[in-house]
Amino acid sequence: MNTLSLPAPAKLNLMLHILGRRPDGYHELQTLFQFLDYGDELTLTTREDGQICLQTDLSGVTHDDNLIVKAARLLQSRSNCKFGVTIQLTKRLPMGGGIGGGSSDAATTLLGLNHLWQLNLDQKTLASLGLSLGADVPIFIHGQAAFAEGVGEHLTPVTLEEPWYLVVIPPVSVSTREIFSDPELTRDTPAITVRTVLEQGCRNDCQPVVARRYPEIDNALIWLGNFTSARLTGTGSCIFGAFPSRAEADKVALQLPGSLQGFVARGSNVSMLHRRLQNPT
């Protein structure tokens, strides 16, 4: 097998608490991740010449700065692999949406090439590599819904309900760095336990800051709030609401205003990437 097509699923942050800022500038977090059965798609084809070639251009991102290329080169370097890869990307997840597009693409690249190049590296090693690319990459490497702490690298697997979600995409891209630099961001939320999160639910500390800075997101939260509890994922820009059935989520999706895009997807405790890797095609 020298070609492998794999999904790069979206994720939701069902809650996000910011406990404080570390001396290195990163923030201590507590967050709850769940995957969606919706995402990008990558097709990886082995090359004999050692070159890493991403054939799909992304607006505003150079070839060498793309996390997919960085992930492939990192894995190639750390494993001393002589192979290269040609990668085609079908992009569905918005950039700056808070649903993990770039991080998920990087994780799929690492897992896919580990399989394709027959490197036999374990998940712990791949997650460590992924963390150097972005705080959210390890969750996609592990592929299990989880309560995350630290900067997002300390993971406790959880089993959650798997409702249908309507994810709404406002016409803006949010800079994570900008939100975490905002002086009004809450940075002193007390730490809580996994049990408290699962029993009581929680909030997203970034939501008030994002809603204040981006009226388009605030308006989307108000609109979706007419139908269900509307929440921001990560630092945004995407927002989401849960529904008990696809039919109910679809019904609301059909009422989206012209200024908003969105999609309906099922929550999943196991990443569809990991399900595909068990039966690769």
The tokens for 114 are: 């580990």
Is 11 labeled as catalytic in the residue annotation? yes
Specify the pLDDT at position 279. Answer: 78
Amino acid identity of 197?
V
Residue 245, token pair as written in the block: 């059935």
Q: How far apart are CA 43 and CA 3, in angstroms?
A: 7
pLDDT in the model for residue 27: 87
Check if 136 is active-site: yes
Per-residue pLDDT tens digits for 114-166: 999 999 999 999 999 999 999 899 999 999 999 999 887 789 999 999 999 99
Output the pLDDT for position 148. 94
Q: What is the pLDDT at residue 96?
A: 85
Selecting among 70, 136, 182, 205, the annotated active-site residue is 136
- How much is the pLDDT for 1? 67
Mean pLDDT throughout 234-242? Answer: 95
Q: How far is it, in rounded angstroms, from Cα 120 to Cα 16?
A: 34
The catalytic residue among 11, 40, 105, 205 is 11
pTM of the model: 0.94
Residue 151 neighbours by CB under 8 Å, 6+ apart: 22, 26, 27, 28, 29, 135
C-alpha 110/C-alpha 130 separation (Å) is 8
Report d(CA 242, CA 227) in Å as an integer: 10
Answer for the pair 262, 169: CB distance below 8 angstroms, yes or no: yes
Mean pLDDT (the chain, rounded): 95
The pairing of beta strand 154-157 with beta strand 164-169:
unpaired
Span 63-90, pLDDT tens digits: 999 999 999 999 999 999 999 999 999 9
d(CA 79, CA 74): 8
